[in-house]
Amino acid sequence: MKLTTEDVRRLSTLAQMEMTESEVESFRGDADAILGYVERLKTVDTDGVDPHGSPSKGEGEWRPDVVVPCTEAVMTEIVKRFPEREGDLLRTPGIFERPKKEKPI
């Protein structure tokens, strides 16, 4: 699958990324290389391979989750350092909000 310049421009708009023309072309080349490699991987014979297998069967590969209590002092410090807040509420950008300055490609 080859990406067109228009495909990359559309992706950059969806990702809310500003890209110059040279960045669009560079990204298109990189994405084509990645997609080409994925196509090659699709040809690998995986019959009989456990899809949940691991190359390492050793024990202790993962550390157990550790619950660390959050004290009032820690919470106060987090709130104090947060760039935008309203009282104890922390303001974050909305996921679906458009950026303040829009620059179509």
CATH class of 1-44: mainly alpha
pLDDT-based confidence at 50, cuts 50/70/90? confident
Say which range, 9-23, 45-59, 63-77, has the weakest mean pLDDT: 45-59
**Which tokens in the block code for residue 18?**
């500003």
Domain ranges within the chain, ordered by starting residue: 1-44
Exposed (0-12), middle (13-18) or buried (19+): which is 8, by Cβ within 10 Å? buried
Is the pTM higher than 0.75? The answer reads: no
Q: What's the 3-state SS for 67-100?
A: CCCCCHHHHHHHHHHCCCEECCEECCCCCCCCCC
pLDDT, average across residues 91-105: 67
Task: Report whether pLDDT(34) > 90.
Answer: yes
C-alpha 41/C-alpha 60 separation (Å) is 30
Task: Report whether pLDDT(26) > 60.
Answer: yes
- DSSP, collapsed to helix, strand or coil, labels residue 58 as coil
